[in-house]
């Protein structure tokens, strides 16, 4: 038997005398937590299923397209990609972005209110503006990542296969990436703002997601109906098509044929841009109004 | 002189037409402060004003000498808050959430994880720190809420009804933890309507009733009555008469005499009379009152 003796010391409470990052540290913490939360990281397994499935749907086609393009190029080096380019791919990811917002925005905002966590934020070095900006920033950063990644993959992959060589293709196609970023911003703001607005006032995450999808799809149906009726001012109803405005911007940016209701009703694409901006501004104002007495 | 931990000058707050706080004037020194009052007395409103969540309708409030309406971030850099209701994300582990709470206060991520571990150990949740908060009992949740309130080492922490919903054992443990906070150099404001909890944990009390300050002072000063209680084994009438004759103010309660005197030390007066009376003394000592007696006796809302 050992003759060594030991002692247990209660170190008790130790004051913290290290660095304090203040407001910027708080904002960074909210962004990091928001990104983890919407992706289900450090949460129960069931919280990971929905976001990672959508991310897979957004990213995997690009991997397959680039892989197949490489495979086909071994048979015909000069063949065009049979899968379309960035414009078509953005059309696919636009739908995924909307579905992602449907659940991620309520998860970010409603959970904090429902579980009373806003009380914790209210005793930390931040304002209501900081909270809103950081939560929206987290959401937008995640969406931007999974929209940009496949497009970058395609940009690099197709450039590597280009007959003019990688370097000249990268330079020559750089404009496409600019268009991707513009379109992505339209999707993020156009689909994200209504999702945040609904989540700011809804009480439960499930119904909030349902309301958001109903409004997005319903507004498109509503706009299509207004496009076909024939009375004075009816065409303005097509501007309520929240689903179609980012699509209008995408077609505008990539110079594609426009088929959305607002365009068919005679509006120029900038009208869609204006609606997106107005909804975003309204969202910011109403969010601050909602949170200013709690933070 | 040390700056007051909390101060209010002509402070008023109204929710629309309902006036929650009426012209409060307060200066409270650092230490362990009790904020007592019935439900609806204005306790939570006062805490929200101190945190800068609400802005005063009239007047001003200061925390550690800083006005939150003028310098919100500076105040929030120095405070912690344990709210009355839940404030825990149920699908996050205690370690993750308390670490996040530290990061929110500006503590760098690596240090936050270490602080979270230390504080969870201190509040008795070391073994449970990797469990989801949704799986915690009420007592464990209250401790986790206290941990998030102090993990960043605030200068003052506001605890709103910290023993609400706890069973007797959990309540005892929570009161012990609160009592220890003062020793860590953290000023504490405990809001409660359970007056014995305040008597046990605090050395200063602010009593609110109907949005007004009823009392504001050290607990020891409030509970001392200046009255001596003398309990005899036999009829106290003769002793009481003699005490009155010598200038004492006397009340009889069964075999007990409550003695006060403006001119003499009541203990000396009692000693002199008892020494010559031949009666048998059972007990003699200062008669102190409780916060509950004071509150019930003075609160207009109890009339």
Nearest CA in chain B to A41: B92
Nearest Cα to A128, choosing from B74, B73, B198? B73
Nearest CA in chain A to B149: A120
pLDDT band for position A80 (50/70/90)? Answer: low
B106, A117: Cβ pair inside 8 Å? no
A125, B73: Cβ pair inside 8 Å? yes
Q: Which helix (H) or strand (E) holds B207?
A: strand B204-209
- Cβ–Cβ under 8 Å, residues B82 and B157: yes
A22, B93: Cβ pair inside 8 Å? no
pLDDT for residue A2? 54
pLDDT tens per residue, range B3-45? 799 999 999 999 989 999 999 999 999 999 999 988 888 999 9
What is the model's pTM? 0.85
Burial of B16 (0-12, 13-18, 19+ CB in 10 A): exposed
The minimal CB distance from A116 to the residues B73, B87, B101 is found for B87
Nearest CA in chain B to A44: B91
Least reliable range by pLDDT among A98-102, A172-176, A194-198: A172-176
Residue A263 has pLDDT above 70, yes or no: yes
| Cα B170 from Cα B201, distance rounded (Å) | 15
pLDDT tens per residue, range B254-303? 888 998 888 788 888 889 888 888 888 898 888 777 767 777 766 665 55
pLDDT tens per residue, range B171-181? 888 899 899 88
A123, B158: Cβ pair inside 8 Å? yes
- Report the mean per-residue pLDDT for chain A: 89
E strand residue ranges, chain A = none
Residue that is written with structure tokens 């020494």 in the block: B275
Query: Per DSSP, what are the bridge partners of residue B158?
Result: B81, B189
B88, A15: Cβ pair inside 8 Å? no
pLDDT tens per residue, range A211-244? 999 999 998 888 888 777 777 778 888 899 999 9
Nearest CA in chain A to B111: A18
Least reliable range by pLDDT among A6-15, A119-128, B96-105: A6-15
Q: What percent of chain B has pLDDT over 90?
A: 53
User: In whole angstroms, how far apart are CA A82 and each of A72, A78, A215, B25?
Assistant: 10, 12, 35, 77
- Cβ–Cβ under 8 Å, residues A261 and A238: yes
Interface of A with B in 58-97 (CB under 8 A): none
Burial of B263 (0-12, 13-18, 19+ CB in 10 A): exposed
Nearest Cα to B160, choosing from A131, A116, A95, A22? A116
| Cα B101 from Cα B152, distance rounded (Å) | 8
Burial of B74 (0-12, 13-18, 19+ CB in 10 A): middle
Burial of B295 (0-12, 13-18, 19+ CB in 10 A): buried
| Cα A212 from Cα A199, distance rounded (Å) | 9
pLDDT for residue B54? 93
Nearest Cα to A241, choosing from A212, A272, A269? A272
| B278 Cα to chain A: minimum distance (Å) | 56
Ordered strands of the B79-82 beta sheet: B79-82, B156-160, B187-192, B32-36, B204-209, B212-218
The minimal CB distance from A29 to the residues B77, B92, B103 is found for B103
pLDDT for residue A228? 75
| Cα B151 from Cα A157, distance rounded (Å) | 49
Arithmetic mean of pLDDT, A84-113: 92
Residue B226 has pLDDT above 80, yes or no: no
């Amino acid at each position: 038997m050992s003759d060594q003796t030991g002692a247990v010391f209660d170190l008790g409470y130790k004051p913290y005398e290290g660095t304090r990052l203040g407001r910027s540290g708080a904002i960074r913490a909210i962004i990091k937590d928001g990104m983890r939360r919407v992706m289900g990281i450090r949460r129960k397994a069931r919280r990971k299923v929905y976001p990672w499935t959508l991310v897979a749907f957004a990213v995997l086609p690009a991997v397959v397209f680039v892989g197949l393009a490489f495979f086909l190029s071994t048979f015909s080096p000069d063949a065009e990609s049979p899968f379309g380019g960035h414009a078509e791919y953005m059309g696919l990811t636009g739908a995924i972005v909307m579905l992602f917002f449907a659940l991620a925005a309520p998860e970010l905002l409603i959970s904090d209110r429902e579980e009373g966590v806003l009380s914790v934020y209210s005793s930390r070095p931040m304002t209501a503006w900081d909270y809103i900006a950081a939560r929206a920033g987290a959401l937008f950063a995640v969406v931007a990542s999974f929209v940009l990644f496949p497009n970058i993959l395609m940009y690099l992959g197709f450039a590597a296969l280009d007959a003019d060589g990688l370097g000249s293709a990268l330079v020559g196609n750089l404009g496409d990436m600019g268009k991707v970023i513009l379109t992505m911003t339209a999707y993020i703001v156009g689909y994200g703002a209504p999702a945040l607005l609904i989540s700011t006032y809804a009480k439960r995450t499930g119904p909030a997601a349902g309301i958001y999808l109903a409004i997005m799809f319903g507004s498109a149906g509503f706009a299509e109906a207004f496009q076909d009726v024939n009375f004075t001012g009816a065409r303005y109803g097509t501007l309520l098509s929240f689903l179609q405005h980012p699509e209008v911007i995408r077609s505008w940016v990539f110079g594609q044929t426009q088929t959305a209701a607002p365009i068919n009703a005679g509006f120029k694409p900038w009208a869609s841009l204006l609606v997106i901006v107005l909804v975003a501004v309204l969202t910011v104002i109403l969010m601050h109004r909602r949170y200013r007495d709690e933070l | 002189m040390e700056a007051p931990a909390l101060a209010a000058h002509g402070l008023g707050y109204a929710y629309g037409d309902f006036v929650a706080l009426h012209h409060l004037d307060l200066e409270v020194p650092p230490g362990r402060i009790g904020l007592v009052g019935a439900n609806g007395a204005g306790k939570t409103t006062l805490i929200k004003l101190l945190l800068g969540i609400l802005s005063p309708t009239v007047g001003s409030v200061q925390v550690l000498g800083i006005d939150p309406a003028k310098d919100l971030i500076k105040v929030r850099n120095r405070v912690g808050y344990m709210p009355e209701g839940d404030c825990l994300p149920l699908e996050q582990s205690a370690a993750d959430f308390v670490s996040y709470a530290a990061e929110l206060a500006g503590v760098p991520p690596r240090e936050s994880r270490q602080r979270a571990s230390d504080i969870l150990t201190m509040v008795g949740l070391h073994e449970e720190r990797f469990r989801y908060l949704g799986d915690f009992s009420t007592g464990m949740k209250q401790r986790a809420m206290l941990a998030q309130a102090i993990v960043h080492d605030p200068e003052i922490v506001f605890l709103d009804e910290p023993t609400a919903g706890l069973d007797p054992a959990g309540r005892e443990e929570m009161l012990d933890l609160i009592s220890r906070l003062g020793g860590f150099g953290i000023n504490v404001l405990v809001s409660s309507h359970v007056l014995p909890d305040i008597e046990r944990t605090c050395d200063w009390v602010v009593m609110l009733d109907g949005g007004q300050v009823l009392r504001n002072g050290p607990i020891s000063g409030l509970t001392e009555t200046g009255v001596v209680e003398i309990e005899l084994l036999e009829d106290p009438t003769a002793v009481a008469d003699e005490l009155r004759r010598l200038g004492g103010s006397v009340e009889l309660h069964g075999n007990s005499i409550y003695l006060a005197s403006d001119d003499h030390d009541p203990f000396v007066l009692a000693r002199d009379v008892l020494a010559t009376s031949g009666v048998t003394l059972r007990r003699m000592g200062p008669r102190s009152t409780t916060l509950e007696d004071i509150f019930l006796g003075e609160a207009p809302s109890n009339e």
